[in-house]
Amino acid sequence: MLVVGFPAGTFRTNCYVLAPRPGAGCVIVDPGQDVAEPLERALTDHALTPAAVLATHGHPDHVAGIADLARAHDVPVRIRPEDRPMLDSVPESVVELGDEPVEAAGLTIDVLHTPGHTPGSAVFRLETEEGGRIALTGDTLFAGSAGRTDGPTGDADALRSSLALLARVLDDDTVLLPGHGPSTTMERERTANPFLAAAEHDTLGTATATAEMGTTDVETRERDMR
């Protein structure tokens, strides 16, 4: 399986391209701000043809490039119905995500509804042909951190429940590809992520205070849009 990821835009939001192999159809996840040039380069370099676009949630740094991309490649866009109103320019090809898997470009992608950062946040889980497991976690779960809930779309209780869900359903060997920052694994986050540990033990508020105290300046800037 081919996975291409790159950060783009002011908030260095990760955009991902998933394909069974080079020269095949692909699924694009979270094409946000300033994504057009690096995305087209990735498509050209690997001879990929877009088959679908998925959004982990509706914040602008994750969806700003969706309308142009959908028009340029005539592909369907999938987002949870709770976050669909966040799209400034709604392509005619929008299909609301439910709980059923997405079948596109020869890939089967499970959709996990993970509200908290936004009401319609989702995590996309899939298995590779090589037997590995991947989860694109958007702004729900990061390496060592979790999505903010202090904005107008946030809900701390919902996020706690969503993190607890991920702790239950994602195996330790799952590679996590977040919306910001580096990739990680579920095993690593179980031992190093205070937000995930707190959700499992129902003490998210305590962990939030502890984690924020240890946040670096760079992490703080990135988290402003999470």
Q: Domain with 217 in it: what CATH number?
A: 3.60.15.10
DSSP state of 150: S
- Spans in the chain with pLDDT lower than 70: 90-91, 203-226
The structural domain count of the chain equals: 1
Domain that holds residue 116: 2-223
Give pLDDT, residue 211.
Answer: 40
Residue 150 has φ and ψ, to the nearest 5°, of -95, 5
Question: Helices marked H in the chain — which ranges?
Answer: 36-45, 60-63, 66-73, 156-169, 186-192, 194-201, 204-213, 217-223
Residue partners of 151: CB distance under 8 A and separation at least 6: none
| Geometric angle at alpha carbon 22, from 21 and 27, rounded to 5° | 70
| Geometric angle at alpha carbon 74, from 70 and 80, rounded to 5° | 45
